[in-house]
Amino acid sequence: MRFVDLAATSAAVAATSGRRAKVELLAEALRKLAPEELVAGSGYLAGELRQRQTGVGYASLRELPPAAEQPILTVAGVDAAIAELAEVRGAGSQQRRRELLAALFGAATVEERRLLLGLFSGELRQGAQAGLLAEAVARAAEVPLPAVRRALLLAGDLKTVAAAALTGGSAALTGFALQVGRPLAPMLAQSAASVEEALTAVGLPAVVDVKLDGIRIQVHRSGDDIAVFTRSLDEITSRVPEVVAAVRSLPARELVLDGEAIALDASGRPRPFQETASRAATRGARRAVRDEVGRAPGDTGATEADRTGREAAELVDHAPGVAGAVDGVSGEWRAATGAGGGADADGGGTRSFGAAPVAPSTAGSVRSVGPVDISEVPRIGTSGSAPAEIPGPERPATVAPSVVAAANTSGGVVLTPYFFDILHLDGVDLLDAPGHERWAALARTVSPAQLVERITVDTVEQASAAFAAAVDAGHEGIVVKAPEAAYDAGRRGAAWVKVKPRHTLDLVVLAVEWGSGRRKGWLSNLHLGARDPETGGFVMLGKTFKGLTDELLRWQTERFQELAVERGDWVVQVRPEQVVEIAFDGVQSSPRYPGGVALRFARVLRYRDDKTAAEADTIDTVRAIHAGRRPD
């Protein structure tokens, strides 16, 4: 297939608003791909490269040769060129990489270059979400959509599933199953504004877990082999020896555990999130983590392009089977979870104990046949029932000596693993078992010190008390869970609902950036500032475009052009007069901004025309929230 045709499809999808039309465009392109092009081509349509790490960064893309006038590239040729780039190592590698990159871009037309730039930067904005691509695969291969979705969630890689469906049909899709060593898309939680709202969705009785402010981990063990994966399905085993040590100490032959890893202080309270993030990030993502320290997931950095990668990450919220596509940035930093940042230096990428899965496989764990009564699974751990109280500040977490010893080899802060679910245990898949049975098996397998704190509640008052205790202990909040629900891999359903305290501040808009993609032609990304009572000026806290409806975008485009004092090609500086109410999840340290702090997950609630800039919240209030104090 000609690469220019794929680029044309990408552009057409970006320009099309209707879901059905987008799906048909994608399906038509998938049908035209040759069998050997399916993995790479479907990846390009998803906005990702088959190669997890290419060595090509922003600096490499600044100086490129002129575009070609006639298209000569093919999908297979582009994939081969990128594969060659990814293999460049050793002395003279930078020069060789520049030569290969120049050759590729020199052979690309303007339309093809646009697609290539989006793929290399991880910022391809075309509106082809994972859910749409799953539909397109089903339509192109003429297979049932549920079969594609199930395979996608278990395989954790859209490219692999697309290739299987388009070459082997429904029969090939049935070959995908949970395989110990191959990560699968994690179950996700919806958000609720209150405990009452969460319980309305889940029902009573319910189970309440503490929501830790760490990174999501999925740990696979088969004998002596242990692999640790992030929420975005990147492998970080070599970077978290304490997690490996904790799982190695468990008396089980085969395990798949779902949990969180978090850095704690001596009292058992969470340390700043970026400390956890920087410890767990793959080497290819470390610089991104450092960059992200100054901007939260809702704070979108210097350009509209920065947003596209984060929005691509949010595809995971709907059907996170696109390896390397996550939030997380939706809920987690892409950098912190390794998303799109590529492989670890020790091998990296999604793997099955060393081998990247490229096709469905039945090899691996011993599989059970038919329904399984988890109560018959032998008790192999040392723990009894799950702990029945939420930890408070006076009850610091216990860190196993083996975990501390392993952490000493990393030279960094200790990452303590906590687990809240088990998906496989010694030959038995537990995905379809109800939660209470999975959690009973987890409690029999993992020691109490390694379990996320969990209680069962029968009333709103009990759940509210658990929420207050979790927040007082320095945690993010709670996750309310339905005890009868199966593990819905990769889905964000009503069976798990998270509740976090919502902070709000009235801040002042200091500048606005012109949007791109769907927001092209509108002033979009807001630069937010808190009032500094000492200087009379404003201290920037970050940026956000989250929460902006089309109506607000239209309104603020007119409003901020009226307030403009300096009009750049990208950023419009404005008089600091407009107050906006911002919701956010927390405040983190940030060397990126002069105030030393930035908001996490900032989003617009409403504009406050009833307030003047002199009535905006101060930087002292922001710092008080950062320090865990109640603002004056």
User: In 382-485, where do the E strands start and end?
Assistant: 415-425, 428-429, 454-457, 477-481
* Of the candidate ranges 9-18, 236-245, 264-273, 303-312, the one whose mean pLDDT is the lowest: 303-312
Residue 128 has pLDDT above 80, yes or no: no
Q: Are 397 and 391 in contact (CB under 8 A)?
A: yes
Q: What is the pLDDT of residues 310-320, one digit of tens each?
A: 322 222 222 22
195 phi/psi in degrees, rounded to 5:
-65, -40
Q: What is the pLDDT of residues 64-108, one digit of tens each?
A: 889 999 999 999 999 999 999 888 888 888 888 888 989 999 999
- Cα 270 to Cα 568: distance, rounded to the nearest angstrom: 41
Average pLDDT over residues 50-70: 82
Which pairing describes strands 492-499 and 477-481: parallel, antiparallel, or unpaired? Answer: antiparallel
Q: If we measure between CA atoms, which residue out of 114, 41, 45 comes closest to residue 78?
A: 41
- Cα 307 to Cα 544: distance, rounded to the nearest angstrom: 9
Catalytic residue among 22, 159, 211, 543: 211
Supply 26's token pair: 């994608």
Supply 516's token pair: 């791109």
Omega into 434 within 30° of 0, i.e. cis?
A: no
Residue 530 has pLDDT above 90, yes or no: yes
Name 217's bridge partners. 230, 259
401: three-class secondary structure by DSSP: helix
What is the pLDDT confidence band of residue 511, given thresholds at 50, 70 and 90? very high
Q: Catalytic residue at 481?
A: no
Q: Are 480 and 206 in contact (CB under 8 A)?
A: yes
- DSSP state string for 26-49: HHHHHHHS-GGGHHHHHHHHHT--
Q: How many residues does the chain have?
A: 632
pLDDT of residue 365: 33
Q: Are 88 and 50 in contact (CB under 8 A)?
A: no
**Fold of the 503-626 domain:** OB fold (Dihydrolipoamide Acetyltransferase, E2P) (2.40.50)
Residue 411 has pLDDT above 80, yes or no: no
What is the pLDDT confidence band of residue 611, given thresholds at 50, 70 and 90? confident
Planar angle of CA 24, 27, 30, nearest 5 degrees: 155
What is the four-CA torsion angle of 266, 261, 297, 600, rounded to 10 degrees? -30
Q: What is the pLDDT of residues 242-287, one digit of tens each?
A: 999 999 999 899 999 999 999 887 777 777 776 777 676 644 333 3
- Cα 300 to Cα 526: distance, rounded to the nearest angstrom: 9
What is the pLDDT confidence band of residue 630, given thresholds at 50, 70 and 90? low
State the amino acid at position 296 in one-letter form.
Answer: A
Residue extents of the structural domains in the chain: 3-130, 215-297+332-449, 503-626
Where on the phi/psi map is residue 297: left (φ > 0), alpha (ψ -120 to 50), or beta? alpha
State the amino acid at position 571 in one-letter form.
Answer: V
- Cα 435 to Cα 631: distance, rounded to the nearest angstrom: 39
State the amino acid at position 448 in one-letter form.
Answer: P
Cβ-based burial of 629 (10 A; exposed 0-12, middle 13-18, buried ≥19): exposed
377: three-class secondary structure by DSSP: coil
- Cα 471 to Cα 392: distance, rounded to the nearest angstrom: 9
Which pairing describes strands 454-457 and 206-211: parallel, antiparallel, or unpaired? Answer: antiparallel
Q: How many CA atoms lie within 13 A of 460 on its CB side?
A: 8
Q: What is the pLDDT of residues 321-379, one digit of tens each?
A: 222 222 222 222 222 223 233 333 333 333 445 433 323 333 233 333 333 343 343 33
Name 254's bridge partners. 222
Looking at 3.30.470.30, 3.50.50.60, 3.40.50.720, 3.40.50.1370, the CATH number of the domain 215-297+332-449 comes to 3.30.470.30
Q: What contacts 563, CB < 8 A, 6 or more positions away?
A: 574, 575, 577, 578
Calculate helix-pair angle for 110-121, 93-106, nearest 10 degrees. 140
Helices (H), 156-209: 158-173, 195-202
CA end-to-end distance (rounded Å), the chain: 63
